[in-house]
Amino acid sequence: MNRQIERWIHEWHEQNSEPICAYVYDLAGIRNHVHKMLETMPEQTSLFYAIKANPDKRIIEALLPLVKGFEVASIGELLLVREVSKSVPILFGGPGKKDMELEAAMKEGVAYLHVESLLELRKLVMLAKEWNRHTQVLLRINLRTNTLPQTKITMGGRPSPFGLDEPFIEEALAILRDEENEHVHFSGFHFHSLSNNLRAELHVDMVHLYLQKVEQWKRSYGLDVQVINAGGGFGVSYEDTPEFDWQLFTSMLAESEALQALKDTQLFFEPGRFIVADYGYYVAEVVDIKQSQDQFFAVLRGGTHHNRLPASWGHNHPFCVVPTVRWPYPFPRPEVDKAKVTIVGELCTPKDRLHTDAELESLRVGDVLVFEKSGAYCWTISHHDFLGHPHPEFYYIT
Ligand SMILES: *Cc1c(COP(=O)(O)O)cnc(C)c1O
């Protein structure tokens, strides 16, 4: 438990009468973590941050001096990065890009555009010519394989709306090689097949598969490949399973022949979750404790409208209890001891549940729960205005 947050909760209680509800982002923690990640990365590799995991501007600013650039998947995300830096390299991916997005991508000078379909590529070639703008593309490929690590979220290996299946590579290259096209330039390939893989060895195998495939395509089609983007998907453990071993991943990669064989080709990674998940805390106060039949429920000021990840994944989100002293009422303070308690939010739906049957030593109304690992895909994927409760406050540890 982060001591700074504990202290901050007590100070907040001394100065306010309302129940606490906030996100705390540890920017210093993120910076240290990324420093360590970079230390072990092989020379040929670069780190980008996929901002959809947490597009908080302060986080983007904190990462700006450390990462090579940012991955975005909409014009909104693109402009957010451009607010922070006019020149930092941007990778622009995502299915269903509109003409206006393709135009804006060229105007904002993205470094590489990830092509997700043949239609998108045809439109891009047409628009680039109209606009007289040059742009570099990576073809996003969805491999047909059952050798990828099995995780909760998979975007590739099986039928999916993301990227191009391998048999379409030839047609994509034909569009790019058409003599009418002088503006859109092939630079390489992009893969992002899964999220939250916890096994470093399997991640290395997956990257090796990507490199092998690219090697084949280079030979078959006579390609000059400058960049291979191997995506994100490095996992964070929300339960007792071991964390993703970044040191092991990078050292296995560094030692592999496939990496040596890259020569001048750059290898990109674009994680989201792994960079920020551990450095966000969702802080919510217990406003009621109730018994229903044989079960206890603690109701929070907050819930899945602020942190939808546990409902989305159906998991029990890890948290700890910060006991507090504030109790301004003339009647007894409800409490439970040595009990299993289900933690729910303030919404009128049974889906608003963050943890089922948490075994607690003691919990009182007014105590504060700190949900750890809430820095990625928590606030940003939530339905903030469902039921009209106030949003949480945002605080930053610098
Ligand atoms: C979401 C996404 C990422 C980041 O994924 P994580 O699992 O958070 O690392 C990277 N690349 C693409 C194309 C994505 O859609």
Q: What is the pLDDT of residues 220-272, one digit of tens each?
A: 999 999 999 999 999 999 998 999 999 999 999 999 999 999 999 999 999 99
pLDDT at position 152 is: 78
Which of 71, 229, 269 to probe ligand 1 with, by most ligand atoms within 8 A of CB? 71
Question: Whole-angstrom Cα distance, residue 39 to residue 34?
Answer: 9
Q: Is residue 331 within 8 Å of residue 318, measured between CB atoms?
A: no
Contacts of 106 (CB under 8 A, 6+ apart): 127, 128, 131, 133, 135
Q: What is the pLDDT of residues 359-383, one digit of tens each?
A: 999 999 999 999 999 999 999 999 9
pLDDT band at 144; cut points 50, 70, 90: confident
113 C-alpha to center of ligand 1: Å? 15
Q: Give mean pLDDT, residues 185-189.
A: 98
Question: Whole-angstrom Cα distance, residue 19 to residue 300?
Answer: 9
The domains found in the chain, sorted by start residue, are 3-24+278-397 (2.40.37.10), 89-271 (3.20.20.10)
Q: Is the pLDDT of residue 391 over 90?
A: yes
Counting from 1 in the atom list of ligand 1, the atom nearest the Cα of 274 is 9
Counting from 1 in the atom list of ligand 1, the atom nearest the Cα of 114 is 13
Q: Is the pLDDT of residue 355 over 90?
A: yes
Query: Is 348 in the active site?
Result: yes
377 C-alpha to center of ligand 1: Å? 11
282 C-alpha to center of ligand 1: Å? 22
194 C-alpha to center of ligand 1: Å? 8
Question: Atom 10 of ligand 1 has which residue's CA nearest to it?
Answer: 232
pLDDT at position 1 is: 62
Q: What is the pLDDT of residues 56-80, one digit of tens each?
A: 999 999 999 999 999 999 999 999 9
Q: What is the pLDDT of residues 325-340, one digit of tens each?
A: 999 999 999 999 999 9
Q: Is the pLDDT of residue 119 over 80?
A: yes
* Length reported for the chain: 398
Alpha helices in 3-74 (DSSP H): 3-15, 27-39, 57-63
Q: Is the pLDDT of residue 145 over 90?
A: no
